[in-house]
Each structure stands twice: as C-alpha cells, then as structure tokens.
C-alpha cells in the first residue's frame, strides 16, 4: 500500500465524522488523482505482462515485473523501459 492510499482512507474516515477543511479536500483530490494514475499505470503493466507471457518474451516479462515492483513500492516508474 502506498502512503497516498493510507491518507485517502484517513481523509475518507474524517469526512464520515465531519466536513473536511478546504485544505483536506484539496489533499483528497490530489490523493484521488495519484491513485487514478497508479491504477492506470498498473493496468497498463498487467496488459503488457499478459502480452509478454503470450509471446513467451522472457526479457520483456522480467522488465515488466521490475516496473511493477517499482510502481508498487514507490508509486511511480523512474523511466519507461522498452
């Protein structure tokens, strides 16, 4: 789980108890945007992993696996690998 996911859960819990402040609402929007980017990037990598497996491209599979680990741990991929 990335820190943004924990903070998003915290903001959601706060919003169930009281109205969020303006800065909390802005932070929630930033977390939602970061989460959407994370989800789309992970979906792309999952699709590429499926293609790599079907074409039996071991090097590509390893590259995608490394990118997935990096995305899960840091929330982003340092550079797009071909």
Residue 19 DSSP class: P
The answer, yes or no, to whether residue 24 has pLDDT greater than 70, is yes
The answer, yes or no, to whether residue 81 has pLDDT greater than 70, is no
Encode pLDDT of 29-78 as tens digits: 999 999 999 999 999 999 999 999 999 999 999 999 999 999 999 998 98
**pLDDT score recorded for residue 79:** 75
- pTM equals 0.85
Is residue 35 within 8 Å of residue 5, measured between CB atoms?
yes
Is residue 52 within 8 Å of residue 60, measured between CB atoms?
yes
């Amino acid at each position: 789980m990335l820190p943004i996911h924990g903070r998003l859960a915290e903001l959601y819990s706060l919003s169930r108890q009281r109205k969020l402040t303006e800065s909390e609402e802005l932070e929630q929007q930033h977390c939602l945007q970061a989460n959407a980017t994370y989800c789309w990037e992970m979906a792309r990598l999952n699709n590429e992993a499926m293609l790599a497996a079907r074409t039996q491209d071991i090097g590509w599979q390893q590259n995608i696996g490394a990118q997935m680990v990096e995305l899960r741990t840091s929330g982003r991929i340092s550079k797009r690998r071909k």
